[in-house]
């Protein structure tokens, strides 16, 4: 299809060049016969060929000079030369304009292509809307897919904001509204926030939203927004797991250090308690009290040894209200 289009454009350019040249030969010198070649060069913008404007510029310049040489005399020489000179100047100004336009268009195409590939790789969704939301609201397919929906399942623009707010986790709703309100009021350069949204499946997913202002009114309020939204659930869960692993590591190291520090004075307590029990009579009340102390210290010794042997993290319910470390399970081999 593109090859056929390019062929027809080249054919039209060739026929037009010949036609303009024939007309130029029929006109007397003094008429600006080379000017139509400027329009022909501008016509090259319709083609995707980068060098077509240059080719038409060279062709138009050559034919303009040939027209000067072979057309019949009509006006004074200085008028003829001035007309032809301005025609040549116009032709090459058009060549420069067309070449710059094609270069900018090519750079824009590559930039859009890179952006599209980057968004596709990151699976981020793009949106663009006015404030308040209007019929020109744009949401791409990936944005809808993040929440498990297709574009056809999304509500109309006048219901979209209410629908979206209903998807926000209750614990994140106030923070999200405050961030968005400050952004729209022009108090923040962007809206950069991570919140939890309810997926179509019913699961909560972590979403990172980054919005930038495109248009603002005279007092700085945002009137048009462009943003991207990406699913960061995996990243958030990994970070949470890493924090939990670090917390457990610190807990286990603390337990080991505490057990070491407690064990030394505890050994002295057990030793002296044993000596005191041996030196008291069996019917001495103080001996029974000292034995109770010794048994309690012995129990502490068992717990301390388990603290030293902790190699995993396990908890158990305490008083039905909170969880505490289960030293028996945590110290099992």
Residues 214 and 248 in one domain: no
Residues 18 and 58 in one domain: yes
Q: Does 6 score more than 70 pLDDT?
A: yes
Of 97, 119, 141, the position where a domain reaches its end is 119
What CATH number is attached to the domain comprising 150? 3.30.450.20
Whole-prediction pTM: 0.53
Q: Which residues have CB under 8 Å from 271's CB, separation 6+?
A: none
Residues 13 and 109 in one domain: yes
Q: Are 208 and 243 in contact (CB under 8 A)?
A: no
Residues 76 and 164 in one domain: no
Residues 96 and 174 in one domain: no
Q: Report the distance separating Cα 123 and Cα 207, nearest Å.
A: 12
Q: Which helix (H) or strand (E) holds 210?
A: strand 204-216
Of 55, 85, 119, the position where a domain reaches its end is 119
| Of the listed ranges 20-29, 127-136, 148-157, 189-198, the one predicted with least confidence | 20-29
Arithmetic mean of pLDDT over the chain: 80
Write the CA distances from 231 to 87, 144, 321, integer angstroms. Answer: 59, 12, 35
pLDDT in tens, 202-224: 999 999 998 999 889 888 899 99
Residues 111 and 10 in one domain: yes
Q: Does 318 score more than 80 pLDDT?
A: no
| Of the listed ranges 38-52, 164-178, 217-231, the one predicted with least confidence | 38-52
Determine the structural domain holding residue 222 and report its residue range: 123-231
């Amino acid at each position: 299809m593109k090859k056929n289009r390019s062929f027809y454009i080249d054919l039209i350019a060739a026929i037009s060049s010949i036609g303009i040249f024939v007309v130029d030969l029929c006109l007397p010198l003094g008429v600006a016969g080379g000017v139509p070649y400027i329009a022909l060069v501008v016509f090259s913008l319709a083609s995707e060929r980068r060098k077509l404007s240059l080719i038409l510029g060279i062709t138009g310049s050559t034919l303009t000079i040939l027209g000067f040489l072979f057309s019949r005399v009509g006006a004074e020489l200085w008028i003829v030369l001035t007309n032809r000179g301005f025609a040549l100047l116009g032709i090459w100004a058009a060549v420069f304009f067309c070449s710059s336009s094609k270069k900018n268009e090519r750079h824009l195409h590559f930039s859009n292509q890179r952006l599209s590939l980057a968004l596709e790789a990151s699976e981020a969704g793009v949106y663009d809307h006015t404030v308040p939301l209007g019929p020109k609201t744009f949401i791409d397919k990936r944005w809808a897919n993040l929440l498990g929906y297709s574009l056809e399942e999304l509500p109309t623009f006048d219901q979209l904001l209410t629908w979206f707010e209903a998807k926000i986790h209750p614990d994140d709703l106030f923070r999200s509204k405050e961030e968005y309100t400050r952004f729209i009021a022009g108090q923040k350069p962007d809206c950069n926030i991570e919140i939890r949204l309810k997926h179509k499946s019913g699961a909560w997913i972590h979403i990172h939203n980054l919005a930038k202002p495109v248009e603002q009114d005279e007092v700085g309020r945002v009137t048009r927004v462009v943003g991207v939204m990406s699913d960061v659930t995996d990243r958030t869960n990994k970070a949470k797991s890493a924090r939990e692993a670090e917390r457990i590591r610190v807990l286990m190291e603390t337990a080991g250090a505490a057990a070491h520090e407690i064990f030394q004075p505890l050994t002295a307590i057990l030793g002296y308690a044993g000596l005191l029990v041996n030196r008291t009579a069996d019917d001495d009340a103080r001996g029974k009290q000292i034995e109770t102390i010794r048994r309690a210290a012995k129990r502490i010794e068992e717990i301390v040894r388990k603290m030293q042997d902790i190699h995993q993290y396990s908890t158990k319910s305490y008083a039905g209200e909170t969880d505490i470390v289960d030293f028996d399970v945590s110290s099992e081999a």
